Amino acid sequence: FRDAGKHRSLNGGWTAAAMAGGLDLALGGPVEEGGTPRRYPWIGDGRARAGVRDIRLALFVFA
């Protein structure tokens, strides 16, 4: 939950931080929106690439 305050949404940061910590991922980070690069902070200290297993686990946790 340490990184929850880094999220641009006041409420979304808690969810993103919990999922990042639970799956050992780093979520967020730099993106491109409508052709414009944006630099958002990383949430979590894990891997920056989610694999199929990570997505399945996230769906299990979410359901």
Per the model's pLDDT, the better-predicted residue between 5 and 38 turns out to be 38
Q: What is the dihedral of CA 52, 54, 57, 59, to 10 degrees?
A: -70
- Give 8-58 pLDDT, tens digit per residue: 888 889 999 999 999 999 999 999 999 999 999 999 999 999 999 999 999
Dihedral over Cα of 56, 60, 61, 63: its sign: positive
This model's pTM is above 0.75: yes
pLDDT at 51: 96
Q: Domain range for residue 35?
A: 4-62
pLDDT at 5: 85
Structurally, the chain folds into a number of domains equal to 1
In one-letter notation, the amino acid at residue 33 is: E
pLDDT at 2: 84
Give residue 38's Cα distance to chain centre.
15
Assigned token pair, 46: 């894990």
Radius of gyration of the chain (CA): 12
pLDDT at 25: 96
